[in-house]
Amino acid sequence: MNETNLETLRHSASHVMAQAVQELFPGVKLGIGPAIENGFYYDFDLPEQLTPEDLVKIEKKMKHIIKQNHKFERVEMKKEEAIRLMEEKGEKYKVEILSELEAEKVTLYKNADFVDLCRGPHVETTGKIKAFKVLSIAGAYWRGIETNPVMQRIYGTAFEKKEDLDKYLENLEEAKKRDHRKLGKELDLFSIHEEAGTGFVYYHPKGATVKNTLENFLKEENLKRGYELVSIPHIAKIDLWNTSGHTNYYKENMYFMQIDEQDYVVKPMNCPGHILIYKRKLTSYRDLPVRYFELGTVYRYEKSGVLHGLLRVRGFTQDDAHIFCRLDQLEDEIISVLDFIHYIMQVFKFDYEVKLSTRPEKYAGTIENWDKATAILEKSLQDRNVPFEVDPGEGVFYGPKIDVKLKDALGRVWQGPTVQVDFNLPQRFDLIYTANDGSKQTPVMVHRAILGSIERFLGALIEHYAGAFPLWLAPVQVSLLPITDSHLDYADKIAQQLQQRGFRVEIDKRNEKIGAKIRNAQLQKIPYMLIVGDKELESETVSVRHRKEGDLGTKNIAEILDQLCQDVDNRA
């Protein structure tokens, strides 16, 4: 079944679910029920809170409706007639939607006694819906507006074949096990505290170790590619953001404050700060390109309802870079960034897909420059034979962009790297360089993030690896497991040797049996476990266990060091 037909099937299933809820809970008010990427949902205004047991009843009622094989009938009527019909039914949310429509005529769909406002299309009969599942309940503001009533949103999914549904449900269960919020707590990586403010992440020692290791890796890779490290303050006067255009185009996402009766902004982006550093001196055409890189923390307002662990936060760090170059250098710079992205995706074993996002409805600059920038991005992708889709109107206000979506071990898609071409900000800030003929020219600016948000990438990475980080990234790389207290000194000696070589080591000094210590190290997803007892003490060796491969036998310290170094070098 193609994507369009699957969407039709799922939308039809949402209507059946609404019919089931209406029959089970008289007095319910219907919201909307669209098909979404992995299924469908429907919003309901109910006087009582639904329970998981209610979902079982709803699914059972849906099966009964499907078995009746009711025909989906399309009904066209004048808008005024539809409003009267929905008023008679007490469907105030449908009346609200209808009142806002400009069309003279509207369409409704009817199956049995159930009628819903809908453009369609639907499958022919309810009997066509074979493989479906009611999944969960959540709260959602009507039309996403926080001042509106909270609806009860019921999620479900539907597939053409039972085996496709079974595979999806299996992946869903696996995704629950991999949830980065669950693993973040179990592995003691990070927390978010209500009393300190939602949307702000507190990294624990282990989480901070992973983050720091990742950031050091990014610094090294950027320096290899000719980027220079910079660092800017977290706040700046509002004048800077007026010049950049953020106060016009991005105001609803910004935090404002007053200092000495002057307006300041907590930075939502790093680009204006990097521009100020570029402007500090006159640049020659021979000096270009100039590439500035920063692990810059930014702050953006997000509605509380969309905050989600590390994936959607209000304060986050970007691996942010800005390239200032001549127009004739632009394509080479874009290609270099694409190569960088490809390398990083290989390191973390992510597949990915690419979208070219074009001019939005609200934009700055000239259409000529937008078209020129879009054409160069498109040519760069073609030159590297990168498959891509055009995403109309999804560029940022100052320029078009390449968006890279990561695909994790379960095939789920995550927002990742981005590359944006900007003719606008260099003009707004009067950036110049001296050309070879002595004239003053305006450089082109490229905004570039290889991982995007470090927080979001870490969240995706936790779920991608199911918390089992590769050795080079693991917060604890080796766990030493002494069998008894008499082996602690030997364990300390080995730990010191490993630490001197830069490895992150812990010793399990608890008075527990060795089996319990091994189980704990497995639960903490530590890559290597080194067991020491009488035999190992006497032969100056260790018994080695690997998180995935199990017992690797007895090795001397030199051998295990070689193995660890090899794994780190290969980023295994």
Task: Count the neighbouring beta carbons within 10 Å of the beta carbon of residue 328.
Answer: 10
The catalytically annotated residue of 271, 325, 477, 517 is: 271
Residue 178 among the catalytic residues:
no
User: Which pairs count as long-range contacts for 276-283, CB under 8 Å and 24+ apart, including other chains?
Assistant: 276/232, 276/240, 277/230, 277/232, 278/322, 278/324, 278/431, 279/429, 279/431, 282/432, 282/433, 282/434, 283/324, 283/432, 283/433, 283/434, 283/443
CB 417 within 8 Å of CB 449: yes
Residue 322 among the catalytic residues:
yes
Task: Count the neighbouring beta carbons within 10 Å of the beta carbon of residue 11.
Answer: 22
Return all residues near 281 (Cβ < 8 A) that are at least 6 apart: none
Residue 320 among the catalytic residues:
yes
Return all residues near 245 (Cβ < 8 A) that are at least 6 apart: 364, 397, 398, 424, 425, 428
Report the C-alpha gap between 165 and 225 in whole angstroms: 46
CB 350 within 8 Å of CB 406: yes
Maximal C-alpha separation, the chain:
92
The catalytically annotated residue of 70, 181, 401, 464 is: 401
Phi, psi of 465 (to 5 degrees): -90, 0
Phi, psi of 473 (to 5 degrees): -105, -15
The catalytically annotated residue of 246, 447, 525, 545 is: 447
The catalytically annotated residue of 10, 61, 178, 300 is: 300
Nearest to 339 by CA among 453, 450, 228: 450
Residue matched to tokens 């909307």: 32
The catalytically annotated residue of 19, 22, 152, 318 is: 318
Residue 94 among the catalytic residues:
no
The catalytically annotated residue of 319, 320, 408, 422 is: 320
- Would strands 235-237 and 262-266 be described as parallel, antiparallel, or unpaired? antiparallel
Nearest to 390 by CA among 380, 401, 399, 376: 401
- Would strands 190-191 and 202-203 be described as parallel, antiparallel, or unpaired? antiparallel
For residue 360, say if its preceding peptide bond is cis, omega within 30 degrees of 0: no
CB 407 within 8 Å of CB 413: yes
Nearest to 410 by CA among 470, 453, 457, 462: 462
Report the Cα 525 to chain-centroid distance in Å: 23
CB 419 within 8 Å of CB 373: no
Judged on CB neighbours under 10 Å (0-12, 13-18, 19+), 244 is buried
Residue 441 among the catalytic residues:
no
What secondary structure letter does DSSP report for 40? E
Residue matched to tokens 């691996």: 319
The catalytically annotated residue of 178, 181, 206, 322 is: 322
Report the C-alpha gap between 541 and 535 in whole angstroms: 8
Task: Count the neighbouring beta carbons within 10 Å of the beta carbon of residue 146.
Answer: 9
Question: Which residues are the active-site residues?
Answer: 271, 300, 318, 320, 322, 401, 447
